[in-house]
Amino acid sequence: MWLLFLNSLKGIKKKRLQMIGLTFLILISTAVYTTMNSALDRMDSMSEQYMEEQNVEHMTILLNETNILTRENIADMFNEKLSSWKDIVLPEVVVTDEMLEKYDQDALQEMRDAIIESGVPEFMVETILKQQIGKILAGSSYLLGIVDGTYPADDLNTYIFYGCSSKAKNESTNFDPNLPYSKFCPINPGTSTSSETPGEVPGDDECADDSGTSTNASTNIAKLYENFSSMTNNNSYGVDKYEYLTPIMEELSQTYDFTYVLKANKVLTYSVDGDDQNYAASIMVYDANLPVNTPYLIEGKEPINDNEITVALPFANSNNIELNSYFEVAGKQYKVVGLAYAPDYIYPAVSFNTPLYDVKRHTVIYTNQATYNDFSGKEEKYYAAKFNNYDGSYTDETLQDLVKPVRKDSRVLYVLSTATISPRISMFTEEVKNNRVFTSYFMYVLLTIAIFIIIMVMKKRIDDERLQIGVLKSLGYNTYMIAAGYLVYPIVGSIIGGILGYGLGVVLQGPVVNLYKSFYNIPINDFFFDAKYLLLSLVIPLISLSLLSYLVALFMLRHRPLKLLREGSNLKVNFMTKIVTKLTSPLKFKSRFRLSLASRSLGKLLVITLCSFCTGLLIVLTLIGSTMMNKMIDKTFAGASYDYQVTYSSIVDPTIIDGYDENHDNEDLITTSDLTLYQIIRKNGTVEVLDKTRSVTVNGIDESLNLLKITNSDGDDISYKLFEDNNQEDVDNIVINDTIRTLLHVEIGDTLILSKRVDIDGNVQCSNDKKYLIVDINETFSGLNSYVDKGSITKYLGYSDQSYNMIYTDELKPIYDETNSNISSVFRYDDLKKNISIAIEMANYSIYIIIAFAGAMALIIISVVSNIVVDENKKHISLMKVMGYKEKEIKSVVLNIYTPFVLIAYLLSIPAMKGILRFIISLVARDLDFSVPIELSLQGALIGLIVIMAAYFIALGMSRRALNRVSLAEALKRE
């Protein structure tokens, strides 16, 4: 058996090109495998330890303030500022005996007993009782008036509403006139919503039985919610709500066994001389003793003194900042005394305006408390928590099990967990995980291609040596022994390719790590030799390729010796060739000959066609991806000629604000609200109830817009359509975006039925329906976004026409300062555009690399196949030379046989990839509410075609040498 192997080994020289191609494929697969895994190991091996040592949070918690703050809390927070509640005169309610009969009789009796106990004579009891009930009813009537909009949802009424509807401690009563709310709140204990122990909040999103009767009720309650949140954040009240929230966190930490901190950071955007793009920083107080998210000092010292700061290492490197030098932030000089990472900002996305990390312009800054206080910038506070007795990984599924009960606790509004998705932390861990999966699959793909090459080479050799094989079988060699001789190809290829690939991988892991280092703020281990990758680089290809090759060889060698020994047994014509011969009989000789040659070997034809198809798929995928990103960005920003989007935390109604004199010339005032879409009336009248309701953002706009342009796919302005008469009563017009159209398969002429739904302590209150007729589609792709006539939405929600809660502007006025409590956020579109453009540019480079790679793969495979074709047809080539054909003519009939197949395969790959992408996007978009344009421009298609055909003809060019070497004497040799 060894001799047969030796014979094959010595014969490799004749299969040089094929062996080079094979070895190269294995080399690339193992190089990429080693590179990525070594790099990821360096990052990964430190990350868990780093996150553990720096006590990185397991979750960010936002508390359900409306469920937590008691009446006493609210009184403490607002009573002084809103003491005029006492001056409110309630309308008198005269209580009759009939009214008493409808009241809760047990509660009435309790009240009677209390009155008697207070010493009131018996004959006065009923009178006093009726007075008390009258007061209660008067108070309740006032509350109802707040809810239905009779009384405005201003700060005072918000205070009263929350004073009555918030959780009450058991010991508080409502009849002490010195306590707030006593004259407003209903007394019935059965209606108290306090709970001893937190439990699950009902998740039912069906409308409550008693909802839907009043549009105003639910919208007014929503306004009250918004206003309460604004009040608790409003500096003018001097309120520190965390004084009241922290005890609840303390209870939660005892219940669920975690440690927590109240994290505060300021997000500051500032400009730097010489750079047209803004910088952004997340500023925090350095506290080495923080039990959660402890800062990590890389170099230098802590910023103890005023005006001392630390910055992140990549930022320092990009801006050439040295230790103890000065750096200007927002016009002030600070001394950089250290380099530090915030462990919960591994991927430091520091602001909404700049969602993609820019190494040069984004950083976390640590400083001392005094300097922190001096910094401007919008402050955010939240609780960061870490479980005490959890030893698992940060991305382990078991962490989810710990987080779930916290999330369901009625005192908790929102939990962002590393176990699910916390971009600053889990983006890194997800990237590591995904990259490992990618490199493994990449290796398998390349090895699969390698198998095809081995099969082709083996088949050629077995065909060439069939007589020798026949003799060996005659002599008594069995198929297994003979097949082993052909393992030389996978063995040699795997050993050489594996070792070289590993070496290359070790070299390349350094630059890859540096790339990651610049991107992720996390300490990274030095390179360490791991024999595992050397072993796997050898073992995986060796075993997989050898095993598969052996099985294929056994199949190819299955024939009996006599069959192999018969002359011309290799010249059998397959059925495909017979069919092709018949079909191509009307064609010219050259075409017939080419097609006949191509169809002679179905295996090679299949390999070439599949290779071209797969290369085409890869190229088309990358080109569509590039188009997709560029188009999404173009379309998203096409209608936005404004520089800033200012969002308010609550509705601004100029008609009810005393002394309102803001000038909004050349700005666009928008009223935006999320409504629930639950039904569609199709053009043909069919009513469709959605099995899953969708939250649609409805943006109410004015007829004349200054900065916003709403366009369709042709680029035409379509906003005017919102104000046209559709001749339907109680139906207004709506322009939806592409995501709504794609997800819900709606079109122009369909009618959407929406409602406003507000979840109050698990009871979903629904307003009346609002119908909108789709009049056009706006080509944007993020979220379920739509535009309507502003008047239609403000009226529906119970606001005045002039109300707004969002502004598009070119000028960042002082009133738009993010530190204003009424302002929720300020989106700097310019920063966002530039930030995304940089990311797109980098992505485009990677696209070129992928295309080049796909082309190289195609080149290798086609070269190998063409070389085999020349080898197989030596006799024909020689005969044609003997007959007098020129080399050019011979080349055109022997080498160019696969041209139509390559072309057709590539052309087929375009609709195939589009179909695959559409299917994938439809699955993904269903849950994530987004759609993407899947298009390939003519230019893109041509680029792909050029790449494929270039690879094809280069490969043929390389095989031409082999063709030229075929001698005339070849024709004289016996088969």
Partner 1 sequence: MSTLIKLNNICKYYYQGEIVTKALDDVNIDVEKGEILIILGSSGSGKTTLLNVISGLDVPTKGQIIFDGKDITHYSDAKMTKFRKQNVGFIFQTYNLLAHLNVYENVKVGAQLGKNKKEDINYIIKMVGLEEHANKYMHQLSGGQQQRVSIARAIAKKPFVMFCDEPTGALDETTGKVVLSSLVKINKELKTTMVIITHNPGIALIGDRIIRMNSGKVVDFSKNENKMAPDEIPWG
Task: Please report, as ranges, the residues that interact with partner 1 according to CB under 8 A.
Answer: 1, 3-4, 6-11, 467-468, 470-478, 560-562, 565, 974
- DSSP annotation of 850: H
Between CA 483 and CA 4 the distance in angstroms is 9
Residue 109 has φ and ψ, to the nearest 5°, of -65, -40
CB of 263 or CB of 466, closer to partner 1: 466
CB of 475 or CB of 689, closer to partner 1: 475
CB of 467 or CB of 492, closer to partner 1: 467
CB of 348 or CB of 470, closer to partner 1: 470
Least gap, CB of 479 to partner 1 (angstroms): 9
Least gap, CB of 446 to partner 1 (angstroms): 29
Q: Are strands 823-828 and 412-417 parallel, antiparallel or unpaired?
A: unpaired
Least gap, CB of 562 to partner 1 (angstroms): 5
Angle in degrees, 0-180, between the axes of helices 488-519 and 423-464, rounded to the nearest 10: 160
CB of 331 or CB of 476, closer to partner 1: 476
Element housing 34 (H / E): helix 16-53
Alpha-helix runs per DSSP H in 772-873: 790-797, 829-872
Contact 119, 86 (CB under 8 A): no
Element housing 494 (H / E): helix 488-519
Residue 521 has φ and ψ, to the nearest 5°, of -85, 85
Between CA 287 and CA 366 the distance in angstroms is 9
Between CA 441 and CA 345 the distance in angstroms is 30
Least gap, CB of 576 to partner 1 (angstroms): 23
CB of 570 or CB of 693, closer to partner 1: 570
Please give the single-letter amino acid code of residue 960: R
Contact 951, 615 (CB under 8 A): yes
CB of 392 or CB of 561, closer to partner 1: 561
CB of 471 or CB of 941, closer to partner 1: 471
Between CA 273 and CA 271 the distance in angstroms is 7
Least gap, CB of 564 to partner 1 (angstroms): 10
Least gap, CB of 477 to partner 1 (angstroms): 7
Least gap, CB of 488 to partner 1 (angstroms): 11
Least gap, CB of 8 to partner 1 (angstroms): 8
Between CA 668 and CA 973 the distance in angstroms is 87
Least gap, CB of 18 to partner 1 (angstroms): 16
Q: Residue 857: which residues within 8 A CB-CB, separation 6 or more?
A: 25, 446, 449, 611, 615
Least gap, CB of 569 to partner 1 (angstroms): 13
Least gap, CB of 452 to partner 1 (angstroms): 25
CB of 471 or CB of 576, closer to partner 1: 471
Extract the tokens encoding 99.
Answer: 């009214």
CA nearest neighbour of 450 among 957, 934, 30 = 30
Angle in degrees, 0-180, between the axes of helices 531-556 and 488-519, rounded to the nearest 10: 140
Q: Identify the three-state secondary structure at position 198.
A: coil
Least gap, CB of 966 to partner 1 (angstroms): 18
Task: Give me the half-sphere count of Cα atoms (radius 13 Å) on the Cβ side of residue 687.
Answer: 5
Least gap, CB of 10 to partner 1 (angstroms): 4
Contact 423, 518 (CB under 8 A): no
Please give the single-letter amino acid code of residue 875: K
Least gap, CB of 549 to partner 1 (angstroms): 19
CB of 566 or CB of 886, closer to partner 1: 566
Please give the single-letter amino acid code of residue 57: E
Residue with tokens 């019935």: 188
CB of 9 or CB of 843, closer to partner 1: 9
CB of 568 or CB of 814, closer to partner 1: 568
Extract the tokens encoding 55.
Answer: 């006590």
Query: In the 3-class helix/strand/coil scheme, how is 86-104 assigned residue by residue?
Result: HHCCCCCCCCCHHHHHHCC
DSSP per-residue string spanning 228-275: HHHHHH-GGGT--THHHHHHHHHHHHHHHTEEEEEEEEEEEEE--TT-
CB of 4 or CB of 416, closer to partner 1: 4
CB of 8 or CB of 354, closer to partner 1: 8
CA nearest neighbour of 32 among 490, 498, 491 = 498
Query: For 331, left (φ over 0), alpha (ψ -120 to 50), or beta?
Result: left
